[in-house]
Amino acid sequence: MVTTQAAVLRAFGQPQVVEEVDLREPGHGEVLVRIHAAGVCHSDVGQADGEWEYPLPAVLGHEGAGVVEAVGPNVNHVAVGQRVVLSLAPGCGGCRHCIVGRPILCQGSLAAMGDGALTTGPTPISIAGRAVSTYSLLGCFANHAVVSERSCIAIPDGIGAESAALVGCAVITGFGAACHTIDIPAGSRGAVIGVGGVGVNAIQGAVIRGAAEVVAFDSNPSRLTTAVSFGATDSVDIADDRLIESLRSTARHSGFDWTIVTVGAPSAMRLGVDVTRPGGETVLVGLTPQGRPLELDALDIVTYEKRVVGSAYGSLDPRVLIPEIFDLALAGRLKLDELVSDRFELSAINEAFDLSRRAGGLRSVLMMAEE
């Protein structure tokens, strides 16, 4: 058993408390990872605020990178001392979805995720013998984590832990939506609605696919400016009602070929559909709060053959997509280091969450240990 420090959420809407937790030894197909850096995703914030049901107490965190310290039995592809980024889509390895390279759709993994466990066994975290849920099969707001071997993807030389951690969700989700969920044609005109950590990576993916115009939509002037530095060709203040109405009214003749919506607000999702042209495509990436419906105009969708598609975790096996992202970054075609806007100690996790609630910065990273 390993005793380590972790941020524990005991009640929705309440601050997390950093305290000692126990980790069982890694079992079959599992490894122990010393966490060096963990990104703060808005999904973590939404979960902490109670937007979705989840068993508590829990250790949150699903963007992590570190080094393998120990391996359990039957671990064949991960070695002690290896630097790894953690993936929340390990899959079971044997179902139809896993076999065709879509482990994010693995129903066994999703069931384990909802239970606060691992695909390989029960939650490895406990306090005084009481089980503590492991969020998103990882629970990386801690100094150590026990995870499935299939969640570990090697980090190449030249990529730092804090940048690699963000590849584990923000980058793979945004980039994958643009490069693998849909087929963005070269020369096309599109928009990304919500340009935080996920949105700017959707922009980068669209640029790599050869989009001629990528318009950034957001209400935060600083984020709109940052989006341009990541490749957006123009920006729109989503709070400008007159401009938004103009885009809606002219969509039949000059709408966007595609839109990617990275925020979980139904109004933003509806906007993404409304401003596409006839035959256009809208990708929904953001997660709405549990039980909040999305109303769309079916007559508009059917009459103009618009397409609406969901995108989860980049739509491709992360063991294929994450190395692709690393290769692009090392070739200078994809920005990673620039995604990190703020750094916090684990003890300041609630400050990092408050910053995310205010949509401040681009992406905050908790620094747990030196590499």
pLDDT at 341 over 90: yes
Residues 124, 35 within the same domain: yes
Q: Which residue has the tokens 């010393």?
A: 34
pLDDT at 252 over 80: yes
Q: Is residue 175 domain-resident?
A: no
Percent of the chain with pLDDT over 90: 96
Q: Is residue 177 domain-resident?
A: no
Strands 307-310 and 276-284: parallel
Token pair recorded at residue 290 = 């549990």
Q: Is residue 174 domain-resident?
A: no
Residues 345, 297 within the same domain: no
| The pLDDT of residue 329 | 98
Q: Is residue 178 domain-resident?
A: no
From 310, 339, 354, the end of a domain falls on: 310
Q: Is residue 151 domain-resident?
A: yes
Residues 57, 193 within the same domain: no
Residues 300, 330 within the same domain: no
Q: Are the C-beta atoms of 86 and 138 separated by less than 8 Å?
A: yes
| The pLDDT of residue 1 | 87
Whole domain around residue 251: which residue ranges? 183-310
Q: Is residue 241 domain-resident?
A: yes
Radius of gyration of the chain (CA): 20
Q: What is the mean pLDDT of the chain?
A: 96
pLDDT at 183 over 80: yes
Residues 157, 124 within the same domain: yes
Q: Which residue has the tokens 């790894």?
A: 84
Nearest to 72 by CA among 140, 152, 168, 5: 152
| The pLDDT of residue 361 | 86
Q: Is residue 176 domain-resident?
A: no
**pTM for this model (two decimals):** 0.94
| The pLDDT of residue 154 | 98
pLDDT at 109 over 90: yes
| The pLDDT of residue 221 | 94
Give 371's pLDDT tier (boundaries 50, 70, 90).
low
Q: Is residue 295 domain-resident?
A: yes
Average pLDDT over residues 137-148: 98
> In CATH, what number is assigned to the domain containing residue 71?
3.90.180.10
Residue 113, CB-side half-sphere exposure with 13 Å CA sphere:
22
| The pLDDT of residue 304 | 96
| The pLDDT of residue 61 | 97
162 Cβ contact list (under 8 Å, min separation 6): 36, 37, 39, 65, 340, 343, 365, 367
Residues 352, 255 within the same domain: no
Q: Cα separation of 168 and 338, whole Å?
A: 16
List, for residues 275-312, the tens digit of each pLDDT value: 999 999 999 999 998 888 899 999 999 999 999 999 99
Strands 64-71 and 125-127: unpaired
From 293, 310, 327, the end of a domain falls on: 310
pLDDT at 323 over 90: yes
pLDDT at 370 over 80: no
List, for residues 184-224, the tens digit of each pLDDT value: 999 999 999 999 999 999 999 999 999 999 999 999 999 99
Average pLDDT over residues 52-57: 97
pLDDT at 360 over 90: no
Instruction: For CA atoms 289, 296, 359, 329, give the dihedral sign.
Output: positive
Could you give the number of structural domains in the chain? 2
Residues 188, 302 within the same domain: yes
| The pLDDT of residue 369 | 73
Q: Which amino acid is at 63?
A: E
Residues 132, 77 within the same domain: yes
Q: Cα separation of 273 and 282, whole Å?
A: 6
> In CATH, what number is assigned to the domain containing residue 257?
3.40.50.720
Residues 111, 226 within the same domain: no
Residues 201, 329 within the same domain: no
Percent of the chain with pLDDT over 70: 99
Residues 141, 48 within the same domain: yes
From 272, 289, 310, the end of a domain falls on: 310
Residues 358, 263 within the same domain: no
